[in-house]
Amino acid sequence: MKRFFLLTLTFIGLASALVRAQTDEYYKKDTLRTDPNRRTTAPLPEPDSRPVHPEGTMPMSERLRLGGSFGLGFGTVTNVNLSPMAGLQITERLVGGVGVTYMWFRSRLFNYNSHYYGGRTFLMYSILPMINLQAEYEALNVEFVNPIESRYERTWLGSPMLGASYSQPLGGKYTRGVHMTLLYNLNYNNQRNPYDIRDNISPYSSPFVFRVTFL
């Protein structure tokens, strides 16, 4: 009986100490409220200091785009294609521009060496962040064979093209991204040798034209 009484007193003492400790913790002074230098949340991001321009009022230096495309082909026929371009951000989604094109062909097999040159104008409209629709008109001065007189002649070919491109941003000031573009030449089947309609004199091997353009 005496031992039970001592165990009861011990249990009551421990319980009282535990309750008192919890009470002291509950009423402890809130250091989060009294310490002004202690942060409970992450700091807010710094505001964007870059100037915001209403659409259509951006300065020319921010609307200008510079770049172009190029290609190299080696083998039986050597093909070099250079096309510098300049564009202008017309609206937030629409870019328009112009470019010049130079092509050099050389065939060792047929002892043939020729230069094509011309220019193009284009419009590129963004329908999604990385997907664009594109319309283009290209005019090229090309060389072809006159089989009647056994000599080469030159003529201009006009190529209206429609297609789309997939873009990846580059972050440059004037070269904003790289664009993988696939176009369809609407006039391809009409670009024939006037002396032999079986001979297509377009510099492209099919009506589909693929380009990688930096702009």
Q: Are 13 and 90 found together in one domain?
A: no
Helix (H) or strand (E) holding 186: none
Q: What integer pLDDT is reported at residue 128 of this predicted model?
A: 95
**CA dist., res. 38 & res. 25, Å (int):** 20
Q: Are 73 and 9 found together in one domain?
A: no
Q: Are 85 and 8 found together in one domain?
A: no
Q: Are 11 and 70 found together in one domain?
A: no
* Concatenated DSSP letters of 7-37: HHHHHHHHHHHHHHHHHHHHTS--HHHH-TT
Q: Is residue 52 assigned to a domain?
A: no
Q: Is residue 50 assigned to a domain?
A: no
Question: How confident is the model over 2-17, as a mean pLDDT?
Answer: 45
pLDDT of 59 > 70? The answer is yes
Q: Is residue 49 assigned to a domain?
A: no
pLDDT of 180 > 50? The answer is yes
pLDDT of 9 > 60? The answer is no
Q: Is residue 37 assigned to a domain?
A: no
Domain count, the chain: 2
More confident of the two residues 113 and 41? 113
CA-closest candidate to residue 137, choices 154, 116, 118: 118
pLDDT of 199 > 50? The answer is yes
pLDDT of 3 > 70? The answer is no
- List the CATH number of the domain containing 159: 2.40.160
Q: Are 18 and 100 found together in one domain?
A: no
Q: How confident is the model at residue 96 (pLDDT cuts 50, 70, 90)?
A: very high
Q: Is residue 47 assigned to a domain?
A: no
Q: How confident is the model at residue 72 (pLDDT cuts 50, 70, 90)?
A: confident
Supply φ then ψ for residue 126, to 5 degrees.
-85, 120
CB atoms within 10 A of CB 175: 14
Q: Is residue 55 assigned to a domain?
A: no
Pick from 20-34, 97-111, 133-147: least confident? 20-34
Q: Are 24 and 108 found together in one domain?
A: no
Q: Is residue 126 assigned to a domain?
A: yes
Q: How confident is the model at residue 54 (pLDDT cuts 50, 70, 90)?
A: low
Q: Are 100 and 144 found together in one domain?
A: yes
Residue 189, both tokens: 């089947």
Q: Are 26 and 64 found together in one domain?
A: no
Q: Are 86 and 21 found together in one domain?
A: no
pLDDT of 88 > 60? The answer is yes
Q: Are 85 and 122 found together in one domain?
A: yes
Query: pTM score, two decimals?
Result: 0.70
Q: Is residue 38 assigned to a domain?
A: no
Scanning the structure block, which residue is given the tokens 């259509």? 56
Q: Are 120 and 26 found together in one domain?
A: no
Q: How confident is the model at residue 53 (pLDDT cuts 50, 70, 90)?
A: low
- What region, left, alpha or beta, does residue 164 occupy, with left being phi > 0 and alpha being psi -120 to 50 degrees? beta
Length of the chain: 215
Q: Domain span at residue 166?
A: 60-214
